[in-house]
Amino acid sequence: MDVNNIKGKKVLELGCGGGQCSIFLSKKGAICKGVDISKKQISFAKKLAKKNYAEVEYFEGSGENLDMFEDNHFDIVLSVFSIQ
pLDDT given for residue 38 in this prediction: 95
In a domain, 70, yes or no: yes
Number of domains in the chain: 1
Q: From first to last of its 84 residues, what are the pLDDT tens digits of the chain?
A: 677 789 999 999 999 999 999 999 999 999 999 999 999 999 999 999 999 999 999 999 998 888 889 888 999 999 987 765
In a domain, 65, yes or no: yes
pTM attached to this predicted model = 0.89
Choose among 79, 67, 24, 16: nearest CA to 43.
16
In a domain, 83, yes or no: no
Domain of 65 in residue numbering reads as 3-78
Distance CA 37, CA 1 (A): 25
Residue ranges of the alpha helices (H) in 1-84? 20-27, 39-51
Distance CA 26, CA 22 (A): 6
* Residues 6 or more apart in contact with residue 48 via CB below 8 angstroms: 18, 19, 20, 23
| CATH code of the domain covering residue 54 | 3.40.50.150
